[in-house]
Chain A
């Protein structure tokens, strides 16, 4: 099921009504959330509900064994079982075809054609998100950061919680699981904030991202564009993916709020960042903190000298790139960010870097350039197409319609800037707790008019669903 579809609106209304009806029985709430979440997921393809329950079940069992086992080697063995089951599922469904194809291409290149099996596996929606959430649960139980859950219904309600099941935020068990263990109180702040976030999220997705989508398609159509259109198109994609994903995250948070739950904020005006490190503190925060805590720091973080730190950053971002999808374009995207962040850290540690202050505007422009270069690879169908596009910036004249292109992109990018400024100035919590209902309703009504006008003009879907 997809948020920006009519069926989801009906689903949400029904779930909210049932949620109100079961408020007196804690176990019924968890059953309802689990049932609704499996229905939400199964609406897309019911066959993968089994996979979700199977991998989740292995983690549930492993976590309990880790918690009850006192011998370290036994605990480690259960942890490895959990890690392997998650990574095997992710590896098979997401990467098997990619690695088989890449190996075949490499052998071909060397003149050693080998009859490797061709794998075409349907990718279960949100597998990267729920697998990472499940992984962090068993690791955190192993580390003693969270107590293992003994109630399977509660555990699965936590793992499959429908607002964030298919595209995050990737929640830590230490943050979300305790919320399932406590009675929830749907306060004035949560309800007002929830509605505000839902409307705001639909605006970001339905109005901004979906307006940019056909423009991005146009710029990335093979052979169609050149010159300035590719630059504008790449900026447009940066806006589209932000509106799409930040919109999804806002709706997810808003829906969770109306059920009495808090989810982590995933974005904090990332395009206002003045360096690449700051960008990663503002962009897809739940994923970047996941990689920091479960990959970068275990590798050694910045404790083993400059060269090792650079290598750790690079490895972390290469894996983050691969997490997004089984394509070399994502690996190059990760490489771009890894190198940029590694260089930034070396610069900051150097004498020159400590003494010289880079003006904010220069830092912002540099950051935006690196991020946009990454987006170009991220959006391209292949690394070859990305290089063609880069070459076409100088090598191919702008098409006759380049003026119209800029005219169409600029208002949407300006809307993103205005939206970020507004959200920084008036965070949802502030709006929900301090604003008069008239102001909230006036802005929500205005956004709703724009949402309704755009509703259904682009086929429903979110970019991050494919990951």
Chain B
């Protein structure tokens, strides 16, 4: 037998059931004071934070907390900045990614891309266009670029609308009491958005993170590229039940009033053009071109803009896409060159000849 091995034994009998198992001998006063002071400090900090926010002394949000906020903040800056641009592209993420401003500039068209990644309504895009028109002079043109998908989406996101209002420095106070988490209820979340986000870079996830890294770098690149964002994903054309169903485009009832509000935001004399973004070939139904032309005419009619621009394709090869709605960077440049040619050749879209009901 190994000499290091001692004879094993069995542990003591189970403790009698009526014996004490544990006792509390700590100073209860110390515990209560300690806990009360710890939690009290948290509460005092919360009251202080809410006071700073309520009084406005905490300043405005840095709009660098996530990609949505960053893009909206940057687009508001681009719309408000003094530039030679006479043309503004506004719209959804297909505008943000598919319209390549450096390509337009090299073609002699000075423009800014005010497209966003956020779920906003068409009238919200009008707020950015309105800001652009207010800060720029000369004969101005606004191009509304939306994906057919955008015309049937559910209600815009309330959070994104608040972010846009904040980005545009709306006169109403941008701080509202939130209570979805303790950090929000105590005002820490809002202070973090105002102070910490200015100091510490915020990393982004996924493809956007891989390409742009941090929100402040995304902001810098957006400003450098006139507002254009590059898609990093690769589109998988394998059809799924959801993708087939989602190809059946239609116009949501709310679009009509949104278009009318959009129009009212633009000053007289500003010309307006509508472009519906292309879809991947594998995603398009047999009657896609006709459907989209009809939708384009309808929406253009509500906007008081010319109808379909037949110079621009409504379907492109799958290989051109990063996602079903976003073009890869090379394809976006090719698409923008066709857009520039269409604009420079002076070919105006045909006036709408149909007015189908939504």
Q: Do chains A and B stick together as partners?
A: yes
A260 within 8 A of B: yes
Q: Which 8 A-B pairs have the closest CB atoms?
A: A401-B213, A445-B41, A144-B6, A441-B37, A29-B21, A224-B210, A26-B21, A404-B201
What's the minimum C-beta distance from B195 to chain A, rounded to whole angstroms? 11
15 new A-B contacts at CB < 8 Å, known A148-B9, A441-B37, A444-B34: A23-B23, A24-B20, A26-B15, A29-B21, A144-B9, A181-B11, A187-B25, A195-B34, A223-B210, A405-B214, A407-B201, A437-B37, A442-B41, A445-B40, A445-B42
Report yes or no: B209 in contact with A218, Cβ–Cβ below 8 A.
yes
Contact mask for chain B residues 127-166; partner A; CB cutoff 8 A; 1 contact, 0 none = 0000000000000000000000000000000000000000
CA distance A75 to B9 in the complex (A): 12
Residues of chain A contacted by B39 (CB below 8 angstroms): 445, 448
A68 within 8 A of B: yes
Q: Which of B185-193, B263-271, B281-289 contacts A (4 or more CB under 8 A)?
A: B185-193
Q: Which of A124-132, A317-325, A451-459 contacts B (4 or more CB under 8 A)?
A: A451-459
> B interface, how many residues as a size bin?
35 or more
CA distance A34 to B253 in the complex (A): 59
Report yes or no: B37 in contact with A150, Cβ–Cβ below 8 A.
no
B33 within 8 A of A: yes
Residues of chain B contacted by A218 (CB below 8 angstroms): 203-205, 209-210, 213
CA distance A195 to B205 in the complex (A): 35
Residues of chain A contacted by B4 (CB below 8 angstroms): 143
Contact mask for chain B residues 282-310; partner A; CB cutoff 8 A; 1 contact, 0 none = 00000000000000000000000000000
A96 within 8 A of B: no
Contact mask for chain A residues 137-152; partner B; CB cutoff 8 A; 1 contact, 0 none = 0000111110111110
Contact mask for chain A residues 40-73; partner B; CB cutoff 8 A; 1 contact, 0 none = 0000000000000000000000001011100010
Residues of chain A contacted by B205 (CB below 8 angstroms): 214, 217-218
Report yes or no: B10 in contact with A68, Cβ–Cβ below 8 A.
yes
A contacts, CB < 8 Å to B: 19-20, 22-30, 64, 66-68, 72, 75, 141-145, 147-151, 153-154, 177, 181, 183-188, 190-192, 195, 199, 214-215, 217-218, 221, 223-224, 259-260, 399-402, 404-405, 407-408, 411, 437-438, 440-442, 444-446, 448-449, 452-456
With contacts A24-B20, A437-B34, A448-B42 known, is A187 near B14, CB below 8 A? Answer: no
List 6 contacting pairs A-B, 8 Å CB cutoff, sorted by A. A142-B8, A147-B10, A151-B15, A195-B38, A221-B209, A445-B39
Residues of chain A contacted by B22 (CB below 8 angstroms): 19, 23, 29, 183-186, 259-260
**CB-nearest residue of chain B relative to A24?**
B20
What's the minimum C-beta distance from A140 to chain B, rounded to whole angstroms? 9
Report yes or no: B16 in contact with A191, Cβ–Cβ below 8 A.
no
With contacts A24-B21, A27-B14 known, is A191 near B210, CB below 8 A? Answer: no
Contact partner, A408, options B11, B181, B201, Cβ 8 Å: B201
Residue of A66, A185, A404 contacting most chain B CB atoms (<10 Å): A404
Report yes or no: A67 in contact with B10, Cβ–Cβ below 8 A.
yes
B217 within 8 A of A: yes
With contacts A27-B14, A441-B33 known, is A399 near B21, CB below 8 A? Answer: no
CA distance A199 to B298 in the complex (A): 61
With contacts A183-B23, A192-B26 known, is A149 near B11, CB below 8 A? Answer: yes
B12 within 8 A of A: yes
Report yes or no: B30 in contact with A192, Cβ–Cβ below 8 A.
yes
What's the minimum C-beta distance from B346 to chain A, rounded to whole angstroms? 38
Residues of chain B contacted by A151 (CB below 8 angstroms): 11, 14-15
Residues of chain B contacted by A142 (CB below 8 angstroms): 5, 8
Contact mask for chain B residues 166-207; partner A; CB cutoff 8 A; 1 contact, 0 none = 000000000000000111001011001000000011011100
Report yes or no: B11 in contact with A177, Cβ–Cβ below 8 A.
yes
**CB-nearest residue of chain B relative to A405?**
B213
Report yes or no: A404 in contact with B26, Cβ–Cβ below 8 A.
no
B89 within 8 A of A: no
What's the minimum C-beta distance from A9 to chain B, rounded to whole angstroms? 11
Residue of B41, B216, B221 contacting most chain A CB atoms (<10 Å): B41
Report yes or no: A26 in contact with B30, Cβ–Cβ below 8 A.
no
Report yes or no: B214 in contact with A404, Cβ–Cβ below 8 A.
yes
Residues of chain A contacted by B13 (CB below 8 angstroms): 150
B321 within 8 A of A: no
B57 within 8 A of A: no
Residues of chain B contacted by A22 (CB below 8 angstroms): 21
Report yes or no: A452 in contact with B37, Cβ–Cβ below 8 A.
no
Residues of chain B contacted by A404 (CB below 8 angstroms): 201, 213-214, 216-217
